[in-house]
Structure 1
């Protein structure tokens, strides 16, 4: 239950949902500022494109670690206090990136950025847990539209700022954006009392109990791992491939490709309503097959930019459909453990992202667009098989 004495407005009002979606956007943006800038970040330390890809992998791995270490605390302490603490450390981590003196220090700071950037995954279960089951898909879709906006915002802004003022300046700007996020949280996020009194170590050990007890959670984790691996394979390699022949695009142009995120941004509320009407398994299947189709188009992306743009639009929509469907079905499992359910699912999701980015960095470096396409097709095929196995509403 929400503390009704809190000055924040009704947590399910349109205004509050909009502001919480904006908070999710600013929170998740922290993970993606580096993607259009990877070639420049690597080059400033004399590193290759595949080495620079390690920065995206390090950030994703840090995020997965933060999901395990910090998000479960949302069931144990007031979520507003948890988010504000994470924000303070995230700002310090962004400063460490901006002033990193060596490539090793940059990797370490990137891990710290990901580790402390999990605020959205505290906000989403806090707000969606207050919604009735028949509208939960719509609420989740609205909040996840913020994540789509964050991806678009981060990649576009970092491409422009990095292209004109250097990549270090972008991370100083990011500190200011975190300050705006802090203001939104202070004034609008409702306080939530703990749903458990478990000690911290018991809270972490209960994650394994949830995995063993909930087959739906296990299925959602595997499907999410595979779909986000495919998604991150493309985005983790995009700037490097666009910098080569035949395109020779700089960071500002690579960042401009973030505008394809408008597809996911506009589609998220509709996908949420589709989950409410049609059920999560069907939407999940459609999403996985859409991701597969996207990577079939990537095969020709090195020759025709139209194929690349079409592939990115399909990939964004397909991945978003999978995320909304999976999160909607796990939130029905255990009301007292929503933060921990989200921890398990999103940890697997971002481990998939780190895996996809890491594999694609090497294959794209060696085989170009064909290596990227092969990576995405492999992950998407496995995700499609997982999605097809979800045959009933509770699956």
Structure 2
């Protein structure tokens, strides 16, 4: 088969995703140090994290649909450059307000991730689309987890601002490289921007496949967020009392599981996307049995993290494969709408894990993580039994792309 996108280009697109998403998550491991230096009270440092997430949510709705109207190659470069501007503002911020503004700017334009995934799906051969999406979206997990490792090390050595200097420089470099290396994706837009925004909202009401996949993403990333937003709490407490760098290294463990799930794209191409989702959600729920104990050794925790990240990435890739196959003419807006569920689920996981841990301990937080996974499995099961979805089928009802 003549591939539609070469391996070096896949790696480049994965790097774009990794660097862009890292601008949102890099603040988490250095939150205490950054807040203290910026003069923020302890109860307000969470606003630094919230600023990036709010910006990202806005970008998903307002900017990702542009990928269905303009050439995505140029859009990727432009969004990357503006993401770098946000990272640079954060690095130079004299106070908390400016830092929040910089993180919000970075978050808005970090939705270049979804534009990149849509580009990869558009230029791929149909028979390799799942494999390409799996390879490119692996960069998202690399960025989320790798940012923890790099930021943790930098925070203990060069300072938290150095993390954002590196990210700003990386965004600028990738903006130039993508413009030079990627080829234009050719298509003829059939709708105006306002019409695409309206059609995104109608997806939830009229498209069964999108509705089920969005709910699955919501619970999937609520479970994911429960682990990665709360893991530092028990590890930083007695008897482990680990430091920022040591806790950040657990991100390497997560990378092993997530990168292993790139094989899920090949399975999706072979017609097994629906089955992948089902068993991945069950595996995700089971992984919490390894994560919860926090016994005399952390080896079960390490194994559980590998399993959890493998399951999350496998389910995520299968959902994106189904949605881009069902809506090949507007992958950008569909993925943008889909990822709003991801963002909301991640926020839910972050909130409930801190609350449950403070009230009842780590076992309670893990119970929420497992419960979210089982809720996702219930949504998947109902879709199979009641909504008539079939493996690799188009949705029962699709929202047409409005014509001009």
Question: Shared topology, TM-score over 0.5?
Answer: yes
Name the counterpart of 1:321: 314
Evaluate the alpha carbon distance shift between residue 107 and residue 330 of structure 1 in structure 2; reply closer, same or farther with a 3 A threshold: same
Name the counterpart of 1:367: 360
Alpha-carbon shift at residue 303 of structure 1 (Å): 5.2
- In the aligned structure 2, how far is the partner of 1:195 from the partner of 1:258? 41
Alpha-carbon shift at residue 63 of structure 1 (Å): 1.6
Unpaired segments of 5 or more residues in structure 1? 1-9
- In the aligned structure 1, how far is the partner of 2:289 from the partner of 2:36? 31
Alpha-carbon shift at residue 197 of structure 1 (Å): 4.7
Alignment of 1:1-395 (within 5 A): 11-44=4-37, 45=39, 47-48=41-42, 51-193=44-186, 195-301=188-294, 304-391=297-384, 392-393=390-391, 394=393
Evaluate the alpha carbon distance shift between residue 361 and residue 113 of structure 1 in structure 2; reply closer, same or farther with a 3 A threshold: farther
* Between 32-41 and 218-227, the greater mean CA deviation after superposition: 32-41
- In the aligned structure 2, how far is the partner of 1:51 from the partner of 1:264? 33
Alpha-carbon shift at residue 284 of structure 1 (Å): 0.5
* Between 330-339 and 295-304, the greater mean CA deviation after superposition: 295-304
Contact kept, 8 Å, 1:56 with 1:357, in 2: the verdict is no
Name the counterpart of 2:401: none
Evaluate the alpha carbon distance shift between residue 148 and residue 85 of structure 1 in structure 2; reply closer, same or farther with a 3 A threshold: same
Residues 227-265 of structure 1 deviation map (CA, whole Å, 9 limit, x = unaligned):
011101211222344222222222211221110133244
Alpha-carbon shift at residue 105 of structure 1 (Å): 4.3
- In the aligned structure 1, how far is the partner of 2:241 from the partner of 2:21? 28
What's the secondary structure of 1:266's corresponding residue?
Answer: helix
Alpha-carbon shift at residue 111 of structure 1 (Å): 2.8
* Between 102-111 and 350-359, the greater mean CA deviation after superposition: 102-111
Task: Give me the TM-score of the superposition, normalised by structure 1.
Answer: 0.89
Contact kept, 8 Å, 2:259 with 2:310, in 1: the verdict is no
- In the aligned structure 2, how far is the partner of 1:166 from the partner of 1:290? 38
What's the secondary structure of 1:336's corresponding residue?
Answer: coil
Alpha-carbon shift at residue 194 of structure 1 (Å): 5.1
Q: Work out the number of aligned pairs and report it.
A: 386
What's the secondary structure of 2:294's corresponding residue?
Answer: coil
Unpaired segments of 5 or more residues in structure 2? 385-389, 396-404
Alpha-carbon shift at residue 51 of structure 1 (Å): 5.0
Alpha-carbon shift at residue 217 of structure 1 (Å): 0.7
- In the aligned structure 2, how far is the partner of 1:52 from the partner of 1:314? 31
Residues 273-331 of structure 1 deviation map (CA, whole Å, 9 limit, x = unaligned):
12223511110011111221122323213654223212211111111011011001101
Contact kept, 8 Å, 1:53 with 1:236, in 2: the verdict is no
Residues 357-376 of structure 1 deviation map (CA, whole Å, 9 limit, x = unaligned):
12223333443423421321
* Between 227-236 and 152-161, the greater mean CA deviation after superposition: 152-161
Which structure has more RCO (C-alpha within 8 Å, separation ≥ 6)? 1
Alpha-carbon shift at residue 123 of structure 1 (Å): 1.2
Evaluate the alpha carbon distance shift between residue 263 and residue 15 of structure 1 in structure 2; reply closer, same or farther with a 3 A threshold: same
Contact kept, 8 Å, 1:63 with 1:114, in 2: the verdict is yes
Residues 196-242 of structure 1 deviation map (CA, whole Å, 9 limit, x = unaligned):
25332222112123333321011100001110111012112223442
Alpha-carbon shift at residue 57 of structure 1 (Å): 4.1
Evaluate the alpha carbon distance shift between residue 34 and residue 313 of structure 1 in structure 2; reply closer, same or farther with a 3 A threshold: same
